[in-house]
Structure 1
Amino acid sequence: MRKVAIIGSGGAGKSTLAKKLGEILDIPVYHLDAIFWKPNWEPIGRDKLIEKTMEIQETDDWIIDGNYNATMEFRLQQADTVIFLHYSTLRCLYGIVKRRLQYHNKTRPDMGKDCKERLDWEFFNWVRTYNKKKAPLVYERLSKLEDTAIHVFTSPSQLEAYLRELQKTS
C-alpha cells in the first residue's frame, strides 16, 4: 500500500481513516477538501483541483481522501489500493451532524484554512442520497479496475478490524 484512494459518503470518516492510515504506513496524507477550499469556502476550481491532484499522484507515496468526480477516475487508476467506506445513510447523516456539532465555529484539521464547519441543505441532501445515486456509480468504476486492491467496508467495526490487522503487519 503506497498509493491509497479513500472514497465514500460525507460523514463516513474518510479523513479520519486517511490520518490513521498515514500514521500506520508512514505515507503523506492529502485531503481533497483542504486542497479544493480556499479561505471562507472559496473553491479553487475544477482545473486547479485536477492540476494539484495530478502533482500529488506523481509522487511515490500518497493517501488521498475525498470524492470529487473531476479527479476520481484518475485517482482510482493510479491507486494500488482503494478503500470505499460504504456505510448506511443513517450512519453518514449522524457523522455529518456530529462533525458539525464537534467543530461548531471552528475549522476541521482536514479542511481548508478558515473554512468553519457548516452544514447546509445541499450537503445534507447529497449525503442523504449518496447510497442511492452515487454508490452504484462507484461500484461501476471499481469493477473496471485491474491490479488494484479494493476494500469495501460497510461498518466502522469492519474497518477497525482491518486497521488492527494492518497494524500487526506494518
Structure 2
Amino acid sequence: MKKVNVIGTTGSGKSTFSQRLAKKINAPYIQMDQIFWKQNWQESQDSEFFQRIEDVLSESTWVLDGNYSRTNIIKWRDADTIIWIDYSFCRTLFQLFKRTIKRIISGEELWPETGNRESFAKSFLSKKSIFIWFFKNYSHNKQGYSKLMYSSKIKHINVIRLCSPKEADLFLKNIEA
C-alpha cells in the first residue's frame, strides 16, 4: 500500500483517517480540498486543478484525501488502494455537525494562505451550505461508491470499505509500516 485514495462523503472522517494512515505508512498526506480551493472560496479551474493533482501524485507514495469524481482517471491511474469511509448517515451527520461547529468557534483557517474559514452563515444559511450538500449527496455517494466496489474499471486497485470507527481503528492498527 503505497498510493492510496481515501474517499467518502463529507463529514465521514476522510481527513482524520487519511492523516493517521499517512503517518502509519510514512507517506505524504495530500488533501484535495487544499489543492482545489483558492483564497476567498474561489474554485480552481479544472485545467489548473488537474495539473496540480498530476504534480502531487508524481511522488512514489501518497495518501490522497478526497473525492472529486471528475479526477478519478488521474487519481486512480497509479493508485494501488482505495479506502471508502462508509459510516452511517447519523454518524456522518453528527461528525459533520461537530466539525463545523468546532471550526466556526475556533475560526481556524482551513487551508494555509487561503483565508477560508467556516462561518455560521456559510455553513447553515447559505444555498451552498455544506449541510445542504450533505443531504443532497449522502445517498447518491453511497450508491456510487457501492457500484465502484465491483467496477471492472478499477480491477487493478484494492478497494477497502470501512463501515465504523472501530473498523477504521482496527485497520490502522493492523498495518505494518
For 1:160 and 1:111, the matched residues in 2 are separated by 28
Deviation at 1:125, TM superposition (A): 2.4
SS in 2 for 1:78: coil
- Who is 2:144 aligned against? 137
- Who is 1:85 aligned against? 85
Unaligned 5+ residue runs, structure 2? none
| Aligned residues: CA RMSD | 1.8
1:106 maps to a residue whose letter is: E
Larger radius of gyration between Structure 1 and Structure 2: 2
- Who is 1:161 aligned against? 170
1:59 paired with 2:66, answer: no
For 2:74 and 2:52, the matched residues in 1 are separated by 12
Deviation at 1:16, TM superposition (A): 1.0
Deviations 1:35-59 (A, max 9, x none): 1111221111222111111122222
Given the superposition, is the C-alpha separation of residues 27 and 86 from structure 1 closer, same or farther in structure 2, using an over 3 Å criterion?
same
Deviation at 1:111, TM superposition (A): 6.9
1:18 paired with 2:18, answer: yes
Given the superposition, is the C-alpha separation of residues 150 and 125 from structure 1 closer, same or farther in structure 2, using an over 3 Å criterion?
same
Moved more, 37-46 or 67-76: 67-76
Contact 1:11/1:92 (CA < 8 Å) preserved in 2? yes
1:147 paired with 2:148, answer: no
Contact 1:14/1:66 (CA < 8 Å) preserved in 2? yes
SS in 2 for 1:150: strand
2:143 maps to a residue whose letter is: P
SS in 2 for 1:21: helix
- Who is 2:35 aligned against? 35
Count, aligned residues: 167
Deviations 1:48-81 (A, max 9, x none): 1111111222221111111112212431342101
State the percentage of identical aligned residues.
Answer: 25
Alignment TM-score, normalising by the size of structure 2: 0.85
SS in 2 for 1:151: strand
1:76 maps to a residue whose letter is: W
Moved more, 12-21 or 128-137: 128-137
What is the 5 A alignment of 1:45-56? 45-56=45-56
- Who is 1:127 aligned against? 134
Given the superposition, is the C-alpha separation of residues 65 and 141 from structure 1 closer, same or farther in structure 2, using an over 3 Å criterion?
same
Contact 1:11/1:95 (CA < 8 Å) preserved in 2? yes
1:117 maps to a residue whose letter is: E
- Who is 1:117 aligned against? 118
Contact 1:3/1:61 (CA < 8 Å) preserved in 2? yes
Deviations 1:4-59 (A, max 9, x none): 00000100111111111111111011100111111221111222111111122222
Given the superposition, is the C-alpha separation of residues 155 and 129 from structure 1 closer, same or farther in structure 2, using an over 3 Å criterion?
farther
